[in-house]
């Protein structure tokens, strides 16, 4: 499963990209606003740091303007993925941009039928928001399973990008049921490496090493 970072914070992206486990980045108008920076400038800098897909969302609601904005965003860098909402206008924009060879991430997906439409429209990625479904008492992971079953049965190439991930268990479960990508807030990505027994074991090893008085670099 690929890991995308869900942020527009350049410092966070640089730090996590240095680990070699970051495959892409997703942004949205809220994240750009939080960064306080110019959108075009921010996306360009992110694309320079991360060679994988970088989702940049259109601001328009009407198809023709979405298409125009998507084309403008794709001028920033070759790895820009145009993010459009799962509306009829968004699907129309997706079809046009996909036919032009551009990557498209169809976002705000909350049902398997919506995901089916996005794949038919040529989406590169479909973004089901599992955390938001959990928030209203539904099962976000069940939606991932349904989409996986449909895409496999119909032989669609659209990748399932699990979004609105709230916990490390969301990540594990998405990997188990076949999500192609998980887009994670930086804090969740960092937590994947944490375990109290790892910390306890490391403390014991370091204490024992200190007793030897040795230094690997000086030995």
Active site residues: 83
What tokens appear for 176 in the block?
Answer: 């188990």
Alpha-carbon distance of 130 to 110, in angstroms, equals 8
Phi and psi, residue 107, nearest 5°: -110, 170
| Residue 21: count of CB within 10 angstroms of its CB | 13
| Angstrom distance (rounded) from CA 4 to CA 161 | 9
Distance CA 159, CA 174 (A): 13
133 vs 122: CA distance, rounded Å: 24
The vertex-95 CA angle with 90 and 100, nearest 5°, equals 125
Dist. CA 127–CA 132, nearest whole Å: 12
Q: Are 50 and 79 spatial neighbours (Cβ–Cβ below 8 Å)? A: yes
Asked whether the beta carbons of 125 and 181 are under 8 A apart, the reply is: yes
Contact yes or no for 148/161 (Cβ under 8 A): no
């Amino acid at each position: 499963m690929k890991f995308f970072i869900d942020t527009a914070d350049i410092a966070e992206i640089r730090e996590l990209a240095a680990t070699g486990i970051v495959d892409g980045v997703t942004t949205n108008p809220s994240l750009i606003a939080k960064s306080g920076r110019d959108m075009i400038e921010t996306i360009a800098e992110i694309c320079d740091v991360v060679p994988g897909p970088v989702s940049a969302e259109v601001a328009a609601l009407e198809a023709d303007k979405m298409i125009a904005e998507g084309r403008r965003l794709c001028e920033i860098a070759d790895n820009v993925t145009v993010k459009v909402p799962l509306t009829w206008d968004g699907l129309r924009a997706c079809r046009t941009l996909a036919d032009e060879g551009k990557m498209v991430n169809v976002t705000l997906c909350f049902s398997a039928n919506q995901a089916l439409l996005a794949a038919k429209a040529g989406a590169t990625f479909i973004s089901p928001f599992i955390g938001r479904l959990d928030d209203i008492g539904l099962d976000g992971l069940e939606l991932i399973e349904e989409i996986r079953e449909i895409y496999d049965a119909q032989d669609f190439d659209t990748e399932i990008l699990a979004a609105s991930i709230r916990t490390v268990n969301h990540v594990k479960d998405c990997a188990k049921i076949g999500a192609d990508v998980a887009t994670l807030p930086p804090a969740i990505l960092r937590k994947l490496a944490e375990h109290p027994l790892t910390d306890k074991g490391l403390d014991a090893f370091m204490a024992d090493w200190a007793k030897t008085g040795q230094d690997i670099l000086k030995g």
